[in-house]
């Protein structure tokens, strides 16, 4: 099925690895043009050079917590390609710290990253998105938003706030035809789990180790997700084919979610 993304332009933050890189790759495969960023530009360019269609990528170093830097990134990319049709807010990682050990700076940093990374891109992109006939925003979130873990207390709270913010943005921007949705992740192997396996000294194969851990975490499908599986759902939500979907939260978690 043609997702009708050919010739359109999308911003993907955190594009040097994992879900961000997989999303960039799939957008290019679908014929889109991509603006992407990471804090380490050399690492970003090395990752992009391996992708077919890399000549349709505008890449830059950017800290998404810096509104001026985000504004410059979007302006330069949108001017280069002649417009902007959507955003994928992917920057951010989990903070493994229980509440008793979390400092106020931990809380501030986590909230700053999860909120600023979205608010800065949306604010800078709105003038461009209003010109698109199929504007869409996808925020990458986690099932922690509804199913918190005490080992990830700051991240869980920030993820819950992002879910709420996404719903608010979807209601605010719907009258302008701009759709806003969330993709919430469970355990996705973006390389870190392979590294943890190698560091664990396990004698079992990775597949056996992964299956044991998935069972312990209650993942119904019995394995970790892959970045390309997430990217497929992200790109589908960006597509004009999803024109009647906004304010939705799509779980890509292998069945680990326990809420209804």
pLDDT bin (cut points 50, 70, 90) of residue 93 is: confident
pLDDT higher than threshold 80 for residue 92 = no
Do 219 and 136 have their domain in common? no
The beta strands (E) that lie in the chain are given as 9-13, 33-38, 57-61, 86-89, 136-142, 179-185, 188-189, 225-226, 249-252
pLDDT at 226 over 80: yes
pLDDT score of 195 more than 90: no
Q: Is 48's pLDDT higher than 80?
A: yes
What is the mean pLDDT of the segment spanning 111-127? 95
pTM for the structure as a whole: 0.95
Flag whether pLDDT at 22 surpasses 80. yes
Helix axes of 227-238 and 18-29: crossing angle, nearest 10 degrees: 50
- Determine the pLDDT at residue 196: 83
Residue 2 in any domain: the answer is: no
Q: Are 93 and 38 in a shared domain?
A: yes
Beta-carbon contacts of 203 under 8 Å, excluding residues fewer than 6 positions away, are none
Confidence band for 102, pLDDT divided at 50, 70 and 90: confident
30 lies in which domain range? 9-187+226-244
Are 155 and 199 in a shared domain? no
């Amino acid at each position: 099925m043609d997702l009708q993304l050919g010739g359109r332009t999308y911003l993907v933050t955190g594009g040097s690895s994992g879900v961000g890189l997989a999303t960039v790759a799939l957008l290019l495969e679908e014929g889109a043009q991509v603006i992407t960023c990471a804090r380490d530009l050399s690492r970003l360019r090395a990752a992009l050079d391996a992708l077919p269609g890399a000549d349709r990528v505008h890449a830059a170093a950017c800290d998404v917590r810096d509104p001026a830097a985000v504004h410059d990134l979007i302006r330069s990319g949108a001017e280069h390609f002649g417009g902007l049709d959507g955003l994928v807010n992917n920057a951010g990682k989990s903070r493994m710290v229980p509440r008793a050990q979390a400092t106020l700076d931990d809380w501030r940093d986590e909230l700053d990253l999860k909120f600023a990374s979205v608010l800065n891109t949306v604010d800078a992109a709105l003038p461009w998105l209003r010109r698109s006939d199929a504007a869409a925003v996808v925020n990458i979130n986690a099932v922690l938003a509804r199913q918190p873990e005490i080992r990830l207390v700051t991240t869980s709270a920030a993820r819950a706030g992002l879910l709420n913010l996404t719903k608010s943005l979807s209601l605010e921007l719907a009258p302008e035809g701009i759709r806003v949705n969330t993709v919430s992740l469970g355990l996705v192997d973006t390389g870190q789990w392979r590294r943890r396996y190698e560091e664990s000294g396990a004698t079992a194969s990775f597949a056996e180790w992964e299956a044991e851990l998935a069972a312990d975490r209650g993942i119904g499908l019995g394995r970790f997700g892959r970045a390309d599986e997430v990217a497929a759902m992200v790109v589908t939500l960006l597509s004009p084919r999803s024109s009647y979907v906004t304010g939705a939260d799509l779980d890509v978690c292998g069945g680990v979610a326990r809420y209804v």
